[in-house]
Every structure is written in C-alpha cells, then in structure tokens.
Amino acid sequence: MTTDTLPAPVVWKDSKRYLWPLGALVLTLPLIGTFAYQATGWAAMLWIGFFIFYGLIPLADKLLGEDNANPPDTAMSALASDSYYRWALFASIPVYLAVWVYMIWFATTVEMPWYGWLGCAMTLGIGCGLAINIGHELGHQTSPLERMLAKFVLAPGGYGHFYTEHNRGHHIRVATPEDPATSRFGETFYEFFPRCIIGSFKSAWQIEAKRLEREGKSVWHYSNDNLQTWAMTLVLWTAITVWLGWTALAMVVVAAVYGGSLLEVVNYLEHYGLKRQPRADGGFERCQPHHSWNSNHVVTNVLLYHLQRHSDHHANPTRGYQTLRNFEDVPRLPSGYAAMVLIAYFPPIWFRLMDPKVVEHFKGDMSKANIKPGVRDKVIAQYSAATAA
C-alpha cells in the first residue's frame, strides 16, 4: 500500500457559516408587514412579527430539526478568530436601529386602526427582544468595540441594566436560589417575570455601585455603565418623542416591555429547576454543563446566535457564538426556544412537560433541585415518596 492511496485529510467546513447573516435579515421582516398592509389594507398584516415568531419559527424548527455537529478541535482557533463572524453579528446593529426608527415612524404617520398600531408595537417588541440577544453576545466579548456596541444595541429597548447584571450577576449566581434570572421548580413565568426584572435592576445598580466605590468614585460618576446605557435610552426616546409625538413614546414603551418579557421568558427556560450544590464554605459548586437547558434546533440556534447551546456558554462565557458546542448528556429541552416560549406562557402545560424532566434529571432526589420556597418541602416529599414506592 502506498501513501497516495490514503484519503486526503478532510477539510472541515462550517455548515452554518452563511446562515449567520439571517440573524440580521430576520430583523427586516416587519417591513414586509408594513408593505403588505399598504397593499391590502389588512391591519392583521402588521402583526407579522407574531405570526413569524410564534408560528413560522417553531414550525420550521420542527421541520428542519436538530444539528448536533461540533467543529473539530483543530478548527476551533481559526473559527474563533475569523473576522467574518464578527461582521455577521455587527451587521445586525444598523439593521435593527433602522427598522426601529422606521416602524415607529410608520405606526405614527400612516393611518391605521388601533389594533394595527398595536401590531406594529408588538412586532417591534420582538425586534427589541432579538436585539437584547445581540447585545448579550456582544457584551460577553472583552474587546472595547464589542462592549461599546453592546451598550448601544440595548439602548432602544431600554435594557441597559442587562449589560452589567448579566455578566457580573447572572453568570456568577446562575442556577442558585440567589439568582433573580434563574427560574425555580414550581414557579410560573408570571411569578418569575416580576421577580427577575426587579431583582435584576437592583443587582445591576448594586454591582456598579460597588465597583465605583472600590475605585473611589461616586455611584453617579459618568463611568457607571448603567447610567451610560440609560442616558442613551433617554436621548433616543426623547428624540423620537419630539419628532413623532407621544404615541411614538407609547409605542417605544410597549415594545420595550414586551421585548424585555421575551428575553426573560427565555431566561425562564434556560435554567428551570436546576441547581448548583452548595459547598461547605457557603458558596456553590462551579457552574457545569448540567446546570443549563439546551437545544440543538437549527433554526432557533441560527436566529439566536447559538444561545441554545447554553451549557457551553455558561462554562465558557467569552467563547464566540460560532464556536459554541453541543454537549452530550446535558439537560435538553424538547424543542427550540421559540416553541418552548409558547409553552411557558401556559403554566399547566409547562409544568406537565418540564417537571418530569427536572425530576428525572435529579433521579427523584428533589432536595437537589432549585424549588420555589413555598412548595419546597411538599415537592421533595412528593417525589421521594414516589421514588421509594
């Protein structure tokens, strides 16, 4: 046998490479709704964001299924440093800002029934939710340009506190009862949402206050990351109100609240019931892959920049989206985030689907789970009895 009969080394190609710009492209879909409304006069067209987010995307996830493939280790370093991926992500920022302005302009200047206006606001809110995810990816990078852009992209949706709280709050306390952004077994999304929002705002403020105090500065110093992002929000919202009036401000607020709720409903499903075990010194064990819920559904993974490969994200938070890996034997959601979000809105269905998965994960020993305080003893007793029997 001679060497020339050996197969040539296989050059690995990233199958998702040319799909990543879809993250920017999907932000332009509201425009189709506005054109369709003008062509047909049907205000329902302005709810296009809803149809796509709650209908088309879960359906596409179902049809196109999962992608478990990981890049080989030898390809990782080139993949991480390939600036194409950086630019594919950056491209979404001007698109988002342009669509944000256009949608507000459209809804405040074109004649439409009130439910058309609301459709525009809600469609815009989905854009805001997606933009928080873009800010999330940017905010995890350590280069100054990415970090600055992260603050900027969070501003239209009024979600600047996330820049601080997510990295320096959530990532530290994830899957512990101390984390406002980790949902507990038995907690409905409607209980989680206010607890998470209030807790996250408080946390963001305290984290920056502590940092500035350490640096000998006032909490009101201009370098406070919260104040910086909130100032950007204030300038943007004031400008759009001066230009287009109070209905523009109302629309911006509706979109911001709804966009924020989308981010938090995703938070709700990312760590539901999971818990890091306490150490003897009062801290918690390291965050490990089995402390996050994952999904490999390819459509949602492309649109969310691999956010659903969440275990790798928490284990390696500065790893860029294109290099996030699927892990075997980690908690796995039955579908992509888009479908799971819909289920989270209906607590009885959510509990029926997810509670058995949490119980199975802990092999019935629910004393290891992160449980809503009021029902903790009852839940532990209920499942230990069931396991014993």
Q: Which residues bind another protein (CB under 8 A)?
A: 140, 142, 167-168, 171-172, 207, 211, 279, 281, 286-287, 314-318
In this complex, which beta carbon is closest to another protein, that of residue 149 or of residue 338? 149
- Could you write out the three-class secondary structure of 163-174? HHHHHHHHHHHC
CA distance 297 to 338: 10
Q: Residue 171 or 372: which CB sits closer to another protein?
A: 171
The first and second tokens of residue 271, run together, are 């760590």
Q: 111: left (phi > 0), else alpha (psi -120 to 50), else beta?
A: beta
Q: Which is nearer to another protein, 139 or 259 (CB)?
A: 139
Considering the complex, what minimum distance in angstroms separates the CB of residue 169 from another protein?
A: 9
- In angstroms, give the least distance from the CB of 227 to another protein: 18
Q: What is the 3-state secondary structure (H, E, C) of 87-148?
A: HHHHCHHHHHHHHHHHHHHHHHHCCCCHHHHHHHHHHHHHHHHHHHHHHHHHHCCCCHHHHH
- Min separation Cβ 328 and another protein, Å: 19
The least CB distance from residue 140 to another protein, in Å, is 7
The answer to whether the CB of 300 falls within 8 A of the CB of 261 is no
Token representation of residue 216: 């000998």
Question: In the bound complex, what is the minimum distance in angstroms from residue 165's beta carbon to another protein?
Answer: 11
Shortest distance, CB of residue 317 to another protein, whole angstroms?
A: 5
Residue closer to another protein (CB basis): 211 or 217: 211
What letter does residue 54 receive in the DSSP assignment? Answer: I
Phi, psi of 373 (to 5 degrees): -50, -45
Q: Which is nearer to another protein, 158 or 289 (CB)?
A: 289
Please report the DSSP string for 323-370 in residue order: G----TTS-B-SS-HHHHHHHHTSHHHHHHHHHHHHHHHTTT-GGGS-
Distance of CA 201 to the CA centre of its chain: 17
Residue 34 or 370: which CB sits closer to another protein? 370
Q: Least CB distance from residue 153 to another protein, whole Å?
A: 19
Taking the least distance from each CB to another protein, the nearer of 149 and 371 is: 149
The residue among 151 and 297 lying less far from another protein, judged by its C-beta, is 151
The two structure tokens encoding residue 150: 């992260």
Q: Is 268:344 a contact under the CB 8 Å cutoff?
A: yes
Q: How far is the CB of 164 from another protein (least distance, A)?
A: 10
Rounded CA-CA distance 351/354 in Å is: 5
